[in-house]
Amino acid sequence: MDDDLLALLASGHLAGATLDVFRTEPLPAEHPFWGHPAITITPHTSARTLRDESIAQIARKIAAFAHGQPLAQLSGVVDVVLGY
């Protein structure tokens, strides 16, 4: 699919693309999308943070941590091995 997008851009069928999510996350540093002049990559910040929902999520994590419960299955936890 990545090659299809690159081909469409090269042929002029598409003028550009703005991308936020990729087949491989995080997008490898050597991937051709990074340097392509017609591709814009966004950092997964396409929406505003919702304050009340964020506070509730943080409170759940603090409570789980305080009770010795694992945090990995909670939403919004960064997996440092995966890089996101």
- pLDDT (tens digit per residue) in 19-45: 988 999 889 999 999 999 999 998 876
Contact indicator for 42, 19 with CB cutoff of 8 Å: yes
DSSP conformation class of 53: H
**What pLDDT does residue 26 have?**
87
Contact indicator for 41, 59 with CB cutoff of 8 Å: no
Overall pTM > 0.85:
no
Which segments of the chain does DSSP mark as H helices, in order?
Answer: 2-11, 51-66
Instruction: Please name the residues in contact with 70: beta carbons below 8 A apart, sequence gap of 6 or more.
Output: 64
Which segments of 12-83 does DSSP mark as H helices, in order?
Answer: 51-66
Q: What is the mean pLDDT of the chain?
A: 89
